[in-house]
Amino acid sequence: MSELMKIQENLRETARKLLANGEASLVIGYALGSEVSRVVPAFISREDEVDRLVWNPLCINNLAKYLLDYRHEPGKVAVVVKGCDSRAIIRLLQDNQITREKVIILGIPCPGLINPDLVAARLDPGAQITVAAVSKQDFSLQTGEGTFTFTRDEALLKKCRDCEQHTPVIADFMLGEEIPPNDPGDPFVAVKTLEELPVEERSAYWDKQFSRCLRCYACRNVCPACTCRECVFDQAEPCWVAKANNLPENTAFHLIRAFHVAGRCVDCGECERVCPVNIPLSLLNRKILKDMKDLFNVPTPGTSLEELPPLGAFTKSDPDEFM
Partner 1 sequence: MKAYTITRDNLGAWLDALARDYTLIAPVREEESVSLFKPVSGFAEINLGYTNSTVSPKGWLFPQTEEMFFFSTGGDQITLADAQTPGPAVLFGLRPCDIKGILALDPVFNGAYQDCYYQKRRQDTILVGLSCTRVERDCFCTSMGGGPTDGGGADLLLTEIDGGYGIEVLTPRGEKLVNRYQQYFDADRENRVIPAREELGKKLAGHFTRNVDTTGLKEFLDQHFELPYWGELARRCLGCGICTYICPTCHCFDIFDQSPDGESGVRSRCWDSCMFSHFTRMAGGHNPRPTQKERVRNRFLHKLKYHRDRYNLDGCVGCGRCVTRCPVNIDIRQIIADLQEVARHE
The CA distance from 58 to 37, in Å, is: 7
Q: Exactly one of 214, 228, 305, 313 binds partner 1 (CB under 8 A); which one?
A: 214
- Residue 73 found at the interface with partner 1 (CB under 8 A): no
Q: Prior bond to 125 cis, omega within 30?
A: no
Smallest gap, in angstroms, from Cβ of residue 220 to partner 1?
A: 8
Binder to partner 1 among 234, 291, 294, 318 (CB under 8 A)?
Answer: 234
| 296 forms part of the interface with partner 1 (CB under 8 A) | no
Is residue 148 near partner 1 by the rule CB under 8 A?
Answer: no
Among 2, 6, 10, 35, binds partner 1 (CB under 8 A): 35
Q: Is residue 215 a contact point for partner 1 (CB under 8 A)? A: yes
Angle at 307 between CA 301 and CA 313, to 5 degrees: 95
Residue 197 found at the interface with partner 1 (CB under 8 A): no
Beta bridge partners of 77: 26, 103
Choice from 125, 181, 184, 312 touching partner 1 (CB under 8 A): 125
For the chain, give percent helix, strand, coil, nearest 5.
Answer: 40, 15, 45
Among 13, 23, 100, 126, binds partner 1 (CB under 8 A): 126
Cβ(169)–Cβ(303) under 8 Å?
Answer: yes
Q: How far apart are the first and last CA of the chain?
A: 60
Answer yes or no whether residue 72 interacts with partner 1 by CB under 8 A.
no
Q: Name 121's Cβ contacts closer than 8 Å, sequence gap at least 6.
A: none
User: Using the rule CB under 8 A, is 124 a contact of partner 1?
Assistant: yes
* Interacting residue with partner 1 among 17, 66, 118, 299 (CB under 8 A): 66
Binding partner 1 (rule: CB under 8 A), the pick from 96, 243, 315, 322 is 243
Closest CB to partner 1 among residues 125, 312: 125
Which residues, other chains included, contact 53 with Cβ-Cβ below 8 Å and sequence gap of 6+? 8, 11, 12, 15, 27, 29, 30, 31, 42, 44, 80
Separation of alpha carbons 18 and 16, rounded Å: 6
Contacting positions for partner 1 (CB under 8 A):
33-35, 38-41, 43, 61, 66, 69, 117, 120, 124-126, 212, 214-218, 220-222, 234, 242-246, 270, 273-274, 276-278
